[in-house]
Amino acid sequence: MNNNLKVVLFGFLLWLIPFAVSALIFPLRGLDRPLFESIMSVIIVIWTVFFSIIYLTSKNLSGKKGHLLIESVKIGLIWLAMSIVLDLMIFIQGPLKMSLWDYTTDIAVIYLMMPAITSGFGYLLDRGPA
């Protein structure tokens, strides 16, 4: 599979899986908001780590030692942007109708974990064995 296609596919799944989980546990948001937010953060971390490992250790990138940090920052920012754009279609334009400020402070900030996680992996992979 082409690397660009992987980035887009993994980015879409990285948005879809947490969205599906949030839909399943949405009643918890009203009952115990901190627990809901914690679960969603953990879901995003787990899947970001999973897709980062798969992408950054793939055969097609293994020969690019020294460039993985740049690649990992790039995919993290792409995944961040994809998640926000897909969310905006539902939360701003779509059925949930949140204000942009509410969306940004309630949801979008969590997505900053994506480039933080991917960048950390890229840095470690570029360094090689300790």
Contacts of 80 (CB under 8 A, 6+ apart): 111, 112, 114, 115
Which residue from 1, 11, 2 is spatially nearest to 84, judged by alpha carbons? 11
> Given this model, what pLDDT does residue 125 score?
86
Measured CA distances, 16 to 19, 63, 103, 120 (Å): 5, 31, 17, 23
In angstroms, the first-to-last Cα distance of the chain is 31
What is the extent of the structural domain holding 103?
3-127
> Given this model, what pLDDT does residue 14 score?
98
Average pLDDT of the chain to the nearest whole number: 90
| Confidence class for position 99, pLDDT limits 50, 70, 90 | confident
Number of domains in the chain: 1
Identify which of 63-72, 91-100, 105-114, 121-130 has the greatest average pLDDT: 105-114
pTM greater than the 0.75 cutoff = yes
